[in-house]
Every structure is written in C-alpha cells, then in structure tokens.
C-alpha cells in the first residue's frame, strides 16, 4: 500500500513537470513568432490578404499560416517549420504599396492567377536573413539587418553567438510597444496592444 501511494505521488510530480515544460516551450515559441510578426513584411501581408480570403494553394508561399506554438513538434521540426514560415512572410518585403493594392483586388476577386502574375513580377529579396531592423539600433550594431538571440528574463546566464546580437526580453518588449504605437495599420496596432497588455500582466 505504501509503495502504491508513493508511485501515485511520483507520477503526479512528473505530470506537473511535463505541464510546466510544455508551457515554457509554448511561451518561447510564441515569442519567436511575435518577433517575426513585428516585421513590416507581416503587417503588409495581413493588411493585403485578410485571413478569410487566403488561398489554400499558396499556404507554402505567399499565404503562409502561422505555426501553432502549442504543437508537440520536436525542436528540429519546429525550427524547420518556423524557418519556412518566416521565409514566406519575408517574401512580402519585396512588395510595393502599388502592388499591394493590385494584390488586394485579386484576393477579393478570388483570382489566384492574377495574384501570382503580380507576384512573379516582384523582385524577391536576395537574402533570407531575418529583418529585425526595427528591433535593432543600426548605429550600435553596425548594420540595419542582423539576426538576434532572444534572452528571456528568467535566464541569468550569458547567451552569445558569433554574428548574432543578444536581445534582452525587456528590450524586446519596449521595442514592441514603440512599433505597435507607430503602426499605420489599425488592426495591427490593436492586436499588438492586446498582446503587450497580456504579456505585461503575466510578469
């Protein structure tokens, strides 16, 4: 009887730890997603293509679907999925305002061929490097584009890697607030205002 009771207690502790690990993993993955959503390319994409009008045929190119941060994917699978998603989002860096207007009309008309025709005439970025220019100081980093390593507030050690800049959680939040306030897209602004408020309330 004592052994059975001990076994039940041990199982409970393991489940509790698993739940904590899942929540921590989901939180970190959500922050990775949000870093990309703060990019101007994502704002341009969502303003041009409403979610309900996205073409399923373009899920892996011009109409990417945000990865599920609560999925049970392994680290390598998650890294591959979010890398593919980011690549698709950054395609919109090469789209001009004039093209956005044409693409918006094509989407509302349900004309996928017209949409692709406009995209094919777009000069795509030559580099797939993540564009975190709005989150970084070009004066201090020496470049307007640089990959970053996100350092959560609970991590007390050092995070460094050659060619990367370490972005503190507090700095990320401050930049997110500035960017959300300066956005010209009302829906974008409201979405990140809600995110920042919920993020702050959990601290």
Q: What pLDDT is attached to residue 131?
A: 40
Q: Identify whether 100 is part of a domain.
A: yes
CB atoms within 10 A of CB 136: 20
- Taking Cα atoms as reference points, which of 79, 180, 173, 96 lies closest to residue 130? 79
Half-sphere exposure of 11 toward its Cβ, with a 13 Å CA cutoff?
Answer: 6
- Residues 105, 179, single domain; the answer is no
Q: Which of 65, 58, 66, 60 is nearest to 115 (CA)?
A: 58
Cα 127–chain centre separation: 18
Query: Is residue 83 in a domain?
Result: yes
Q: Count the domains in the chain.
A: 2
- Maximum Cα–Cα distance for the chain, whole Å? 75
Tell me, yes or no, whether 177 and 112 share the same domain.
Answer: no
Q: Which two tokens stand for residue 37?
A: 């959503």
Q: What is the pLDDT along the chain (203 residues), one digit of tens a residue?
A: 555 555 555 555 456 666 778 899 999 999 989 999 999 999 999 999 999 999 999 999 999 999 999 999 998 999 999 999 999 999 998 888 889 999 999 999 999 999 998 887 754 344 333 344 444 444 444 434 556 777 777 777 777 776 677 777 777 777 666 666 666 666 666 666 676 666 555 55
Could you list the residue range(s) of the whole structural domain that residue 72 is in?
15-123
At 156 the pLDDT is 75
């Amino acid at each position: 009887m004592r052994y059975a009771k001990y076994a039940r207690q041990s199982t409970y502790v393991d489940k509790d730890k698993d739940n904590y690990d899942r929540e921590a993993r989901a939180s970190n993955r959500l922050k990775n997603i949000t870093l990309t959503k703060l990019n101007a390319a994502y704002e341009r994409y969502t303003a041009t293509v409403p979610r309900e009008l996205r073409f399923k045929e373009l899920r892996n190119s011009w109409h990417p679907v945000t990865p599920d941060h609560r999925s049970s994917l392994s680290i390598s699978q998650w890294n591959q999925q979010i890398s593919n998603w980011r690549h698709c989002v950054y395609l919109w860096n090469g789209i001009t305002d004039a093209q956005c207007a044409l693409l918006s009309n094509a989407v509302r008309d349900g004309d996928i061929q017209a949409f692709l025709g406009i995209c094919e005439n777009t000069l795509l970025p030559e580099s797939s490097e993540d564009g975190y220019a709005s989150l970084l100081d070009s004066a201090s980093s020496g470049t307007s584009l640089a990959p970053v390593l996100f350092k959560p507030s609970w991590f007390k050690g050092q995070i460094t890697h050659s060619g990367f800049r370490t972005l503190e959680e507090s700095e990320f939040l401050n930049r997110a607030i500035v960017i959300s306030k300066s956005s010209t897209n009302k829906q974008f602004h409201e979405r990140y205002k809600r995110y920042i408020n919920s993020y702050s309330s959990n601290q």
